[in-house]
């Protein structure tokens, strides 16, 4: 945000701000006079607090909190307390307003919500991920008030909608963080429209060329889709009217990001994505008739069109973990095109659109604890481990965000929902921590299976336990649920602490034997001398016999204190770690690494996971122990790195006129024919300054897939080669191939 000194038409802006505020009031349904008074009070306070502040676009800052509050009211359907807090969400962080002021004027609940929305100052630890710390702080509030997360999602949505005014590097970082954390969070909270928009806006800034391509293709085919949908729905509409249903039909085009995912996963162009849109039939019906009426409409649809037996999804009988309910089927149209049809009640549709807020509005219709409430309790369980650092917390939390689900039954028929890929151990820990810790196997559908067995939808199993069993490190390799990982780590940490206490006693005795002081200075020295990251790790390794305490004799001591060993000579090229970012004078916010020139004497190299070449948009990532790695901005790992480790990302660009051949990998897909490989290698050999590093082809049932690694000068050179490959008869697609080697963090 900016405080700009230039002259503005203050009177005109004041009128426009009042118009925006009145728009907010109109968006609040069923408000009382007291509601209006509270919202006006919050608006007046925010307006005064932000009066001298402007956004990067130059507009008055107050537009942002008004917009966030309107998203909360209009798109989420949240209550007055949330709308008030949305108006005030930046006051404590950015102005003279304190949490005490908030409490005095709006109460304790408002104070807690605003506190959850206030970022942690960037002064506590230069080596920590500020994004991860702030994300963890926000998630901690789920246990107390889930509105914090919903307001934060509204805040992020408005920031993404207005991201154009930001510099390119900040656009990329914010978009990556949004895709990695906030879009999955919106999905888990049932906010499908917001989740889709966050994903689309992330794609717009992470891969603008892809976004514009699909956006233009959707626009050019819009009229054709509309005509098709009208013809498709005409007979169904007539029957629904005849049978007296009150209904609404919506045709929703898939989001740009979901179309892009389908193009990537199926490796097909836009024209071959068959489910670009879905048709939604929404009926008004009382809760007790929802299920039979939805199935009746399914019967009407399938009377006209043949359904695919593999594409029926019944989320009415078994709602998804975030409360989503709907009946999905995919049917064949007379034009030979598959069409997805979604059938749901008005209540189900509101929950699908507005997620958590609507879920609690309709909660009285459900007698048992909902799966969403159960997910919230699982999140609370994740927060029980105070030893988990912010990065680990984000990793574990994200495991529970975006996973598809399978449904598993206990011996008594109780339904449990687990992520796809879940094993026996995941199920055991889902039942109870003690059962997980003592699990030695299970009977799945009356068949004995090991702990690592992956469960399938509909399995029924009985856990087998032993009092002698206890968790071990290998268990972490095959559990997938965040709950199981957290419980296993907690158990291993407890055992590790017990072993470490033995090691501490051993070291204490050895110190006494050598007449040395057992104090913090000496322990810290030993941690560094034996390359351990904590005292607990030092004691643990001593207890396990991995540290030879006889070496204590070899270390000089003065007055009972160890001396540090003499420093070794350091080569001219330095390798940086997290702690060295500042000591080497690297400012990740201002510095730009020019590829081809020396950068402060620090080693940097091209990352193997995406093999950037001149012409690619790139950034540098400061690894631990391996210098700086250069990644493409659309590298498969870029979102992960920028969202969790932005403080270790540095702007980078290519040195002009720097002609060095670099490796680029290409994947070619097509129909196999005689002499194809020769034709492709001939193109490479004739192309100036292109050398082939490797080539491999696999053919299955007449369809080939080839992987070629070549040395090229830049992206223009690569595109020229790609176009020549595409001209070869039989070649269907030529794409850049990311090898995705193990990522260096």
Question: 10-214, what's its fold?
Answer: Hypothetical protein af1432 (1.10.3210)
409/457 Cα distance (integer angstroms) = 9
pLDDT higher than threshold 60 for residue 576: no
Question: What confidence score (pLDDT) does residue 210 get?
Answer: 92
pLDDT (average), residues 644-653: 85
Q: How much helix, strand and coil, in percent to the nearest 5, is found in the chain? A: 50, 15, 35
Contact in structure between 700 and 670 (CB atoms under 8 Å)? no
% of residues, the chain, pLDDT over 70:
82
Per residue, what are the HEC states of 217-281?
Answer: HHHHCHHHHHHHHHHHHHHHHHHHHHCCCCEEEEEEECCHHHHHHHHHHHCCCHHHCCCCEEEEE
* Structure confidence at residue 390 as a pLDDT band (50, 70, 90): low
* Structure confidence at residue 609 as a pLDDT band (50, 70, 90): confident
Residue 138 has φ and ψ, to the nearest 5°, of: -65, -45
Window from 4-13, 492-501, 527-536 with minimum mean pLDDT: 4-13
Q: Output the CATH code of domain 218-365.
A: 3.30.460.10
Please state the length of the chain: 745
What is the DSSP secondary-structure string of 502-566? HHHHHHHHHHHHTT---SHHHHHHHHHHTT-SSHHHHHHHHHTT-S-GGGGGGS-EETTEEPPPP
Question: What confidence score (pLDDT) does residue 567 get?
Answer: 44
pLDDT higher than threshold 80 for residue 30: yes
Specify the 3-state DSSP secondary structure of 571: coil
Domain spans of the chain?
A: 10-214, 218-365, 371-479, 490-562, 580-653, 662-736
Specify the 3-state DSSP secondary structure of 588: coil
Question: What confidence score (pLDDT) does residue 519 get?
Answer: 82
Which of 12, 124, 151 lies closest to 70 in space, CA to CA? 151
477/294 Cα distance (integer angstroms) = 42
* Structure confidence at residue 163 as a pLDDT band (50, 70, 90): very high
Contacts with 364 (C-beta within 8 Å, 6 or more apart), sequence order:
none
Handedness of CA 182, 183, 186, 191 (dihedral sign): positive
pLDDT (average), residues 231-235: 94
Pairing of strands 306-307, 327-332: antiparallel
More confident residue, 127 or 214: 214
Question: What confidence score (pLDDT) does residue 640 get?
Answer: 81
pLDDT higher than threshold 80 for residue 295: yes
% of residues, the chain, pLDDT over 90:
31
Question: pLDDT per residue over 699-727, tens digit each?
Answer: 877 778 888 888 888 888 888 888 888 88
Question: What confidence score (pLDDT) does residue 374 get?
Answer: 61
* Structure confidence at residue 421 as a pLDDT band (50, 70, 90): confident
Question: What confidence score (pLDDT) does residue 4 get?
Answer: 45
Question: What confidence score (pLDDT) does residue 339 get?
Answer: 92
More confident residue, 12 or 68: 68
pLDDT higher than threshold 80 for residue 560: no
Question: pLDDT per residue over 296-333, tens digit each?
Answer: 999 999 999 999 888 899 999 888 877 789 999 999 99
Quickly tell me which residue has 């095959």 as its tokens.
478
pLDDT higher than threshold 70 for residue 357: no
680/662 Cα distance (integer angstroms) = 20
Quickly tell me which residue has 């895709």 as its tokens.
179
pLDDT higher than threshold 90 for residue 162: yes
Contact in structure between 618 and 631 (CB atoms under 8 Å)? yes
Question: What confidence score (pLDDT) does residue 366 get?
Answer: 47
More confident residue, 69 or 594: 69
631/607 Cα distance (integer angstroms) = 6
Structure tokens at 408: 């598993």
Which of 170, 176, 222, 169 lies closest to 199 in space, CA to CA? 176
User: Which H or E element spans position 200?
Assistant: helix 192-206
Q: Classify domain 662-736 at the CATH class level.
A: alpha beta
CB under 8 Å, gap of 24 or more: what pairs does 435-441 form? 435/463, 435/465, 436/471, 436/484, 436/487, 436/488, 437/469, 437/470, 437/471, 437/487, 437/491, 438/465, 438/466, 438/467, 438/469, 438/470, 439/463, 439/464, 439/465, 439/469, 440/464, 440/465, 440/466, 440/469
pLDDT (average), residues 447-471: 88
pLDDT (average), residues 608-625: 86
Question: What confidence score (pLDDT) does residue 127 get?
Answer: 43
**Known catalytic residues?**
93-94
DSSP state of 602: B
Mean predicted lDDT score pLDDT of the chain:
82
Question: What confidence score (pLDDT) does residue 368 get?
Answer: 44
pLDDT higher than threshold 70 for residue 377: no
516/596 Cα distance (integer angstroms) = 52
Question: What confidence score (pLDDT) does residue 133 get?
Answer: 67
More confident residue, 410 or 392: 410
pLDDT (average), residues 680-688: 77
Window from 118-127, 129-138, 647-656 with minimum mean pLDDT: 118-127
pLDDT (average), residues 31-48: 94
399/691 Cα distance (integer angstroms) = 42
Cβ-based neighbour number of residue 77 at 10 Å? 19
pLDDT higher than threshold 70 for residue 118: yes
pLDDT higher than threshold 80 for residue 523: yes
Quickly tell me which residue has 């702080």 as its tokens.
137
Cβ-based neighbour number of residue 527 at 10 Å? 16
pLDDT higher than threshold 90 for residue 106: yes
* Structure confidence at residue 728 as a pLDDT band (50, 70, 90): confident
DSSP state of 369: P
Question: 371-479, what's its fold?
Answer: Ubiquitin-like (UB roll) (3.10.20)
Question: What confidence score (pLDDT) does residue 42 get?
Answer: 95
239/174 Cα distance (integer angstroms) = 49
Question: pLDDT per residue over 524-553, tens digit each?
Answer: 888 877 888 788 888 888 888 888 777 676
Question: What confidence score (pLDDT) does residue 663 get?
Answer: 84
* Structure confidence at residue 6 as a pLDDT band (50, 70, 90): low
pLDDT higher than threshold 60 for residue 363: no
* Structure confidence at residue 356 as a pLDDT band (50, 70, 90): low
Question: What confidence score (pLDDT) does residue 329 get?
Answer: 94
Contact in structure between 703 and 669 (CB atoms under 8 Å)? yes
538/213 Cα distance (integer angstroms) = 56
* Structure confidence at residue 259 as a pLDDT band (50, 70, 90): very high
77/344 Cα distance (integer angstroms) = 20
- Count H helices, E strands: the chain? 29, 22
Question: What confidence score (pLDDT) does residue 121 get?
Answer: 53
Mark residue 436 as left, alpha or beta (left: phi above 0; alpha: psi -120 to 50; beta: remaining).
Answer: alpha
Question: What confidence score (pLDDT) does residue 529 get?
Answer: 79
Distances (CA, A) of 498 to 198, 494, 501, 510, 518: 46, 6, 5, 19, 19
């Amino acid at each position: 945000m900016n405080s700009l000194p230039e002259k503005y038409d203050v009177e005109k802006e004041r009128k426009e701000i009042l118009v925006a505020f009145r728009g907010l009031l109109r968006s609040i349904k069923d408000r009382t006079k007291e509601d209006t008074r509270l919202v006006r009070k919050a608006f007046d306070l925010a307006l005064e607090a932000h009066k001298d502040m402007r956004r990067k676009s130059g507009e008055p800052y107050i537009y942002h909190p008004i917009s966030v509050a309107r998203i909360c009211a209009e798109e989420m359907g949240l209550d007055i307390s949330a709308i008030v807090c949305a108006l005030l969400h930046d006051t404590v962080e950015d102005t003279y307003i304190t949490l005490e002021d908030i409490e005095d004027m709006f109460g304790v609940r408002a104070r807690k919500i605003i506190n959850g929305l206030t970022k942690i100052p960037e002064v506590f630890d230069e080596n920590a991920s500020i994004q991860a710390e702030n994300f963890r702080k926000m998630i901690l509030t789920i246990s107390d008030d889930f509105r914090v997360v919903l307001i934060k999602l509204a805040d992020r949505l408005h920031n993404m909608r207005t991201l154009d005014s930001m510099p390119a590097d900040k656009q990329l970082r914010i978009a990556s963080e949004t895709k990695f954390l906030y879009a999955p969070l919106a999905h888990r909270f049932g906010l499908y429209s917001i989740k889709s928009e966050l994903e689309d806006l992330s794609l717009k800034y992470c891969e603008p060329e892809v976004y514009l391509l699909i956006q233009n293709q959707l626009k050019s085919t819009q009229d054709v889709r509309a005509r098709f949908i009208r013809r498709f729905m005409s007979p169904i509409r007539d029957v629904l009217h005849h049978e007296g249903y009150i209904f609404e039909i919506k045709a929703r085009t898939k989001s740009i990001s979901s179309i892009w995912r389908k193009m990537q996963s199926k490796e097909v162009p836009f024209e071959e994505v068959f489910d670009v849109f879905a048709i939604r039939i929404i009926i008004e019906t009382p809760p007790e008739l929802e299920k039979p009426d939805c199935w009746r409409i399914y019967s009407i649809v399938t009377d006209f069109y043949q359904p695919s037996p593999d594409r029926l999804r019944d989320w009415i009988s078994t709602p998804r973990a975030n409360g989503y309910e709907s009946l999905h089927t995919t049917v064949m149209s007379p034009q030979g095109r598959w069409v997805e049809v979604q059938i749901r009640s008005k209540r189900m549709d509101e929950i699908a659109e507005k997620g958590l807020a609507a879920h609690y509005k309709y909660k009285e219709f459900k007698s048992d604890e909902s799966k969403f409430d159960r997910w919230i309790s699982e999140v609370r369980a994740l927060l029980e481990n105070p030893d988990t650092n912010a990065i680990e917390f984000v990793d574990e939390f994200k495991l529970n965000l975006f996973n598809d689900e399978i449904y598993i039954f206990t011996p008594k028929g109780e339904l449990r929902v687990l992520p796809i890929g879940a094993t026996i151990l995941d199920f055991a820990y889902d039942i109870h921590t003690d059962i997980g810790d003592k699990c030695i196997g299970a009977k799945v559908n009356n068949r004995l299976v090991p702990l690592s067995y992956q469960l399938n939808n509909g399995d029924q199993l009985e856990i087998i336990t032993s009092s002698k069993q206890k968790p071990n490190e290998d268990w972490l390799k095959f559990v997938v649920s965040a709950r199981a990982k957290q419980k296993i780590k907690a158990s291993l940490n407890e055992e590790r602490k017990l072993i470490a206490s033995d090691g501490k006693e051993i070291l204490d005795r050895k110190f006494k034997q050598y007449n040395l002081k057992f104090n913090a200075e000496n322990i810290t020295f030993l941690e560094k001398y034996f390359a351990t990251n904590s005292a607990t790790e030092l004691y643990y390794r001593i207890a396990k016999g991995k540290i030879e305490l006889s070496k204590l004799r070899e270390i000089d001591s003065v007055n009972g204190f160890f001396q540090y060993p003499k420093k070794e000579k350091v080569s001219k090229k330095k390798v940086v770690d997290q702690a060295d970012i500042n000591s080497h004078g690297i400012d990740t916010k201002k510095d730009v690494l020019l590829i081809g020139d020396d950068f402060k004497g620090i080693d940097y190299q091209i990352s193997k996971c995406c093999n950037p070449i001149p012409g690619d948009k790139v950034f540098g990532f400061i690894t631990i122990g391996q210098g700086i790695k250069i990644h493409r901005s659309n590298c498969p790992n870029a979102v992960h790195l920028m969202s969790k480790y932005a403080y270790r990302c540095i702007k980078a660009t290519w040195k002009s006129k720097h002609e060095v051949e670099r490796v680029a990998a290409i994947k070619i897909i097509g129909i196999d024919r005689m002499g194809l490989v020769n034709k492709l290698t001939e193109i490479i050999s004739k192309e100036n300054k292109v050398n082939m590093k490797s080539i491999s082809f696999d053919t299955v049932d007449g369809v080939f897939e080839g992987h070629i690694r070549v040395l090229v000068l830049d992206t223009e050179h690569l595109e020229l080669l790609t176009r020549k490959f595409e001209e070869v008869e039989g070649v269907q697609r030529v794409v850049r191939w990311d090898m995705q080697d193990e990522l260096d963090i």
